[in-house]
Structure formats: C-alpha cells, structure tokens
Amino acid sequence: MGSNASIMLQQEDLQNICQETGFTTKEVQRLYSRFKTLDKRDCGFLIREDLLCIPEVNINPLGERLIDVIVEDYGENNKINFKQFIFLLATFRRGKTKSTTEFNTRNSKLKFLFDMYDRNHDMKIDRTELLEVLKMMVGGNIHDDQIATIADHTIGELDNDGDSSITFEEFCETLSRIDADDKMSMKFLS
Amino acid sequence: MTTTTAQIFTIIGVICVPLISLSILVLSLAALNLSLGIRKLYVTLLGYLFDYATKIKRVKEFSIDSDKSSDEHQTTTTNENDKTPLIEKKTEEDPIKISSTTPLLGESKNEINNENESESSHEITTSTTDHEQKISSTSSPSDIQFKLGDIVDYTRQGLEAIVDDDVTKRFTSAEEMAVWNLLTRTQQQHEYFSIRVTLLWFVGFCIRYFILFPFRLFLFIIGITWMLVSAIFLKYFLKRDAKLRYGFYINIVLHRILSRVFSAIITYHNTEYRAKCGSICVANHTSPIDVIILSTDNSFSMIGQKQGGFFGMVQRTLSNTANHIWFERSEAKDRHMVTDKMREHIQNKTNLPILIFPEGTCINNTSVMMFKKGCFEITEAPIYPVAIKYDNRFGDAFWNSSKHGLFQYLILMMTSWAIVVDVYYLPPMTMEENETSVDFARRVKAAIAKQGGFVDLEWDGGLKRSLPKADYKAEEQRKFYEMLKTE
C-alpha cells in the first residue's frame, strides 16, 4: 500500500506542481496515491495495460483511444510518469473558477478532444480518422456502409473549405454550442 | 546450579500462572459465549483515545494548511477562499472527502443506492446515465447524425475512471477514515504530528505486538489444537449421527475460541432470522474471518473447492465435525454438478445450512459486488441473507489476498486492536414467480447492501484478477447507438 505515498513525493516537487497546475496539495497527494495504486509493478510509470485494466475504462468504447492519447501525447515511449500524468489531468480542472492556468483553458480541453480524432497530428480530422472513432463508438450496431454515410454527412456539414477534412478551427466552431469547459471538467478535481 | 534452575522455574511459574489462569478464563468464557464486558470497555476506551489523537492531528493539519495557504497567497493571488476561517473550510472539505472515497456514509450512499435501484432493470449500471435522458421519437437509421462533440461524455467518463473508479478501489483497503486509529497501516499519510500522538502510537504498538499478539497467538494455537484433537476424537470414537450432534458443539466452541483470537466483538441483529437447517445462507465476503464470525452463532456446512496446504488441512479436519461439501478442482467447472450436490444436501432437513459467499472474492466491506447466480438457482429452500459490516476503526478486516498471504493476514489481524462487527440476519427470501436466478441474486444483493450500508455494484468481483468481458463494451456501444438513433 502507499503508506509512504506522501514521503515519496518531495515537498519541493509538490509545491512546484501545485503552483504550475493549480491543484491543491491535497489533490496532488490524492492523485499521487491513485497513481501508485495504478502502478502495480511499482516502477514509477504507467503503461497502456495499467490503465486498460480499470474495468470502467476497459468497457468504455473510447477507452483504448483515450489511453492512446494519454500515453502517446502526454507520456513518452508509451509510458507516462507521475509528472506527465498530473499535467494531463491539470487540463481537466474546471476553468471557470478564478484559478485558470495555462493548462485548463477551454482551448486546451478542445485540443484534447480534437486529438482523440487526429492521431496523425496533421491538425486535421480526415475521413479515415473520423471513421475509426465512429466505429469504436457504435461497434457492430451499424453496418460499415452506413457508418461511411454518416461520416461523410458529418464532414460535409462541417467542412467549409472543401478539403473534406476538419481543421481545428472548424472543430472548435462546431463545439461552440457545447460547454466544453463544463463537460470536460472533472467534478472531484474542482 | 540447582538453585538457579529452581529460580528459573519459579520465574517461569510466576509468569505462567497468571497467563494460564487467564487463558482458562478466556477459554471457558469463550466456550460458553459469555462476556465480562471487558472487550466492550476496551473498545469504548479505544474510541475515546482515537478521537483524542485525531483531534491533535487535525489541529496540526490546520496550522500546516494555513502556513501553506499564506505561502500561496504571496506567490499567486488566486486562492481567495483560503482567507476564510480555517475551521469553516475544513467542514466544507470533509463531507466531500467522505462522500468521494468512502461512500458508506451520509447522503452519497443513498444517492448511489437509489440510482442503482432505479436502473436495476438495465443490464449494467455504470456511468452512462448521461445518455439515458434522451428518449424520444424513433427514426430510421439513415438520418442518424453523428456530431464531433458526441465523444465528450465517453472521454470525460474515461478520464474520471482513471482518476477514481468504482471497482478497483474495492479491492484495496478503504483508506481514508474519519478518525485515525493509531495503526500506521490504515493511515496513508502518517506523519509525526505531535509527540503526544507519537507516544500514544508507540504505547499502542507495544501493547499490540508484545502483549496482545503473543496471547492471541497462544489462543490461536489452542484453538487449532482443539480442532485437531476433537476431530480425531470424533473420527475414531463416535457413530455418525452422534458425531454430527457433538460436531455441532465442537464447531461452535472452536469458532468462539477463534473469534477471541481477534478480540471479536460481534453484535447479532434479528437473530430470529438465523438460518435454519436445510437452507442456504448467503453473505457478503470481506475476509476468511467471516466464516468464524458467522459460525460463533450457528453451524454451517461449507462448500468449496478442495484446497491444498494449511487450508486443505483445515478443510479435511472440519469434515469430521459436519457435512461439508468439498469438490475437486476439476469438478468445480461443472456448475450443474455443484448445484445438484447442494440440492441434495438441503433436501435432508437435518443437514446444516450451507454457507455461501456468492461474490466469490473478498471485497473491502464498502460495497457488494455481483452475486454469482449458482446458488440462487436452487428453489427448494429459502435463502437467508446476512449482511456483515465491520467497523474498520479498530482494524481493517479486509483480506487483500494479492498483497498478503493468509498467515501474514492473520498476523495483521492479531496485531490489530479488535474486530468489531455487526451481523444482520435478514428475513429469508425465495425466488418469485417469473423471476430469473440472476434477478433473484440481484434482489438478495440489494437487500444486503441496504442493510449493511454498502454500495450496490453490478460489477463482477472476478475483475480483481481478470478483465471485463467484451459483452460489456458491446452493451455500451449499443447504448450509444440507441442514443444516436433517437436523438
């Protein structure tokens, strides 16, 4: 058990993390003990499997994609250490309160969502990328042809410049009606 | 030379006489299930002590917190709230802490329970409530519209599960407690806040390890000896029916002795619903001690796989005192065979009730997880549900089998303050018409959850060691499809 959880986390690091991310010390400590729990092999970083064995993530249709984004974009070499982990989570602090940092802006939340689609990092969501996500979400419930139709429809509606892909600006525009800051903030971190 | 040996013997005698007389006293009290109220007094006293220690700790935490917040004030001008009185802040924070980590207490429990009740008709009760609000007109699949923002809910839920999920935390000790019980292992961040508390802890440590533990170990050995001797006695000296009659008492005395090993303080509620012969008793499972707790008040037939090692020896010995059902590992896969064996067992109304833990694994006493349907398929006898609720202030009874071996666990328990536990017998339940065994299992589970104040989860306890079945993901995908369709 992480009985030495708080000892392992250096006081200095703790202060720095808090200042940069806007988390309170308590929150960081809690996240640290969570990180230690997930890190079953006790090696200081999490790999894909560590996250995927959380049942609720495992059954989440987008769970694997989410983990891809986490370990590839926020970690390195398909591992994520505690610092990277906490900076990832800092993105999802509620931004509306007085404590906004560079991490939890509405824009960074949207960027995370955008990255859920844009896996080749060309700042565009193209048809194949959209199809991939769509397939993950509906599974075998819709026929492939139909999925293609739906994807074409979605792109057609949002693509203003006619390159049959969606740029980050177009993405932000379509999500403007959604309160991304609210929807992508985690209650227990606020 | 002779004088020194004599002296040594006198010293040993002086030490042993009180010890032996004390053990005889405890043993005879245990056998008769009497209590002098010493354990009750001991626990009440401990309660006061914990409160005192926690109070000191809190005060220290306040001052540290306020130091930090003033630091933050100078550097960043963000946290205005920290200026408000600290005590107020604390009370604000506390309920959040409790509701998010130990959902046993207060409102959050009811919330979760209600949610689950209303949803229990659905296949899995997980985190998809967001989607379920949208039920409207039916439309043909061709005008299904997918919006890019539709991934928001799943993404957030995924992240939330990474930070804090409902299942994995049930397989580790429930960590945060309202009061600190002076056991280091139950407190995550044990820091030496004050000399007084450290001193208290140290005295407690000495008492637990150097006084309680040896004595308890001694009792434990006596208990095991009692079991072995009585088993041999029964095996060679008595006829079968007499064997079972004596076996009943031997069993109860054995478990009463064993319960004293952990200074168990057991409160039984609604004893009129104690399981009768020729029935099945189901309970939530926290640790191997569950069996001891329940068996001090009633005798059970146990059912399970034949084990090796120490457990195997206990199993074989216990078989001499009652009709237990042990099956081979190879047979365990054959569910029908197991059910048939149980059915056969309960049809004989003189047979002891069968004790089953349908969760199939130990859970940290904050929740109940899926009940395997096996024993709920038996309609010939009523099912007596039992809720076992431990008071983890005096020692966490949960057996984290992936971290501690059985003996390590037993030593941990013997060096805890005490095992304080409430046992609630619930009215017998039978399967209703048109009810499937799965629904029946769920209903029994809900009853236990309600009585014990547990979070009622549909998740399979087997997730401790394996990944969920792909069906669950498919179910989530189907739900999303339904939502897309009806939008």
- For residue A140, is it within any domain? yes
Q: What is the domain extent for residue A53?
A: 13-92
Probe site for chain A from B77, B148, B476 (most A CB atoms < 10 A) = B148
Whether residues A150 and B145 touch (CB distance < 8 A) is answered with yes
Whether residues A54 and B474 touch (CB distance < 8 A) is answered with no
Looking at A65, A92, A119, the residue that finishes a domain is A92
d(CA B203, CA B49): 12
- Per the listing, tokens 């709230």 go with B81
Q: Alpha carbon of B26 to those of B60, B223, B260, B266: distances in Å?
A: 41, 12, 8, 16
Probe site for chain B from A21, A32, A56, A168 (most B CB atoms < 10 A) = A56
What is the three-state SS of A139-182?
A: HHHCCHHHHHHHHHHHHHHHCCCCCCCEEHHHHHHHHHHCCHHH
Contacts of residue B168 in chain A, CB cutoff 8 Å? 37-38, 53-55
Contacts of residue A62 in chain B, CB cutoff 8 Å? 151, 154-155, 158
Probe site for chain B from A54, A112, A138, A152 (most B CB atoms < 10 A) = A54
Q: Are residues A79 and A113 in the same domain?
A: no
Phi then psi dihedrals of residue A46, to 5 deg: -105, 140
User: Scanning every residue of chain A, which has its alpha carbon at the shortest distance from the alpha carbon of B72?
Assistant: A19
- For residue B289, is it within any domain? yes
Answer for the pair B361, B464: CB distance below 8 angstroms, yes or no: yes
Give me the torsion for CA of B135, B141, B147, B153, rounded to 10°. Answer: 40
Whether residues B146 and A154 touch (CB distance < 8 A) is answered with yes
Per-residue pLDDT of chain B (487 residues; tens, 9 = 90+): 567 788 888 888 887 788 788 888 888 888 777 778 888 888 888 888 888 877 777 776 666 555 554 444 443 333 333 333 333 333 333 333 333 333 333 333 333 333 333 333 333 433 333 343 333 333 445 567 788 888 888 898 899 888 888 888 888 777 655 667 777 654 444 455 677 777 888 888 888 888 889 889 988 998 888 888 888 888 787 777 777 788 888 888 889 989 988 888 899 999 999 998 889 999 999 998 999 999 998 889 888 778 777 778 888 888 877 888 888 767 767 778 888 888 888 888 888 899 999 998 899 889 999 998 888 988 888 999 999 999 888 888 898 888 888 889 999 899 888 889 999 999 999 998 888 999 999 999 999 999 999 999 988 888 887 888 888 888 888 888 888 877 6
Q: Are residues A48 and A112 in the same domain?
A: no
Answer for the pair B366, B456: CB distance below 8 angstroms, yes or no: no
Q: What is the DSSP letter of A46?
A: E
Contacts of residue B72 in chain A, CB cutoff 8 Å? 18-19
Q: What is the domain extent for residue B410?
A: 195-477
The two tokens of residue A52 are 């995927």
Contacts of residue A18 in chain B, CB cutoff 8 Å? 72
Looking at A42, A67, A92, the residue that finishes a domain is A92
Query: Which pLDDT belongs to residue B369?
Result: 93
Whether residues A66 and B467 touch (CB distance < 8 A) is answered with no
Contacts of residue A133 in chain B, CB cutoff 8 Å? 151
Whether residues A188 and B100 touch (CB distance < 8 A) is answered with yes
pLDDT tens digits for range B349-376? 888 899 999 998 899 889 999 998 888 9
Percent of chain A with pLDDT over 70: 90
Contacts of residue B485 in chain A, CB cutoff 8 Å? none
d(CA B130, CA B112): 15
Q: What is the CATH number of the domain that holds A135?
A: 1.10.238.10
The two tokens of residue B279 are 């029935």
pLDDT tens digits for range A132-160? 999 998 888 888 888 888 888 888 888 77
Contacts of residue B146 in chain A, CB cutoff 8 Å? 134, 150-151, 153-154
Q: Are residues A179 and A143 in the same domain?
A: yes
User: Scanning every residue of chain A, which has its alpha carbon at the shortest distance from the alpha carbon of B165?
Assistant: A56
Whether residues B468 and A174 touch (CB distance < 8 A) is answered with no
User: Scanning every residue of chain A, which has its alpha carbon at the shortest distance from the alpha carbon of B97?
Assistant: A188
- For residue B178, is it within any domain? no
Q: Write the residue in B147, B161, B175 that is nearest to A174 by C-beta.
A: B147
Q: Are residues A136 and A162 in the same domain?
A: yes
- Pairing type for strands B367-368 and B455-456 reads parallel
Residues 6+ apart with CB under 8 A from B457: B116, B125, B166, B167, B170, B367, B368, B369, B370
**Model-wide pTM > 0.80:** no
Chain mean pLDDT for chain A? 82
SS3 A186: coil
- For residue A7, is it within any domain? no
pLDDT score of A53 more than 70 = yes
Contacts of residue B459 in chain A, CB cutoff 8 Å? 55
- For residue B73, is it within any domain? no
Of the two residues A61 and A6, the one the predictor is more confident about is A61
What is the separation, in whole angstroms, between the first and last Cα of chain A?
A: 26
Confidence of residue A36 (pLDDT cuts 50, 70, 90): confident
Query: How many structural domains does chain A have?
Result: 2
The two tokens of residue B21 are 């007389």
- What's CA B153's distance to the chain center, in Å? 33
Shortest alpha-carbon distance between residue B156 and chain A (Å): 6
Phi then psi dihedrals of residue B301, to 5 deg: -90, 135
- What's CA B91's distance to the chain center, in Å? 29
Which residue, among A129, A176, A130, has the nearest Cα to A153 in the 3D structure? Answer: A130
d(CA B93, CA B70): 18
Contacts of residue B157 in chain A, CB cutoff 8 Å? 56, 60
Whether residues B167 and A55 touch (CB distance < 8 A) is answered with yes
Whether residues B159 and A25 touch (CB distance < 8 A) is answered with no
d(CA B367, CA B108): 13
- Per the listing, tokens 């991939």 go with A132
- Maximum CA extent, chain B: 103
Whether residues A59 and B126 touch (CB distance < 8 A) is answered with yes
Query: Which pLDDT belongs to residue B387?
Result: 95
Probe site for chain A from B163, B392, B484 (most A CB atoms < 10 A) = B163
- For residue B411, is it within any domain? yes
- For residue A4, is it within any domain? no
Whether residues B163 and A140 touch (CB distance < 8 A) is answered with no
Query: How many structural domains does chain B have?
Result: 1
Shortest alpha-carbon distance between residue A75 and chain B (Å): 15
For B66-69, the CB contacts below 8 A with 24+ separation are B68/A25
Whether residues A137 and B185 touch (CB distance < 8 A) is answered with no
Looking at A63, A92, A121, the residue that finishes a domain is A92
d(CA A53, CA B172): 15
Q: Are residues A18 and A88 in the same domain?
A: yes
d(CA B414, CA B394): 12
Query: Which pLDDT belongs to residue B482?
Result: 85
Q: Are residues A121 and A180 in the same domain?
A: yes
pLDDT score of A5 more than 60 = no
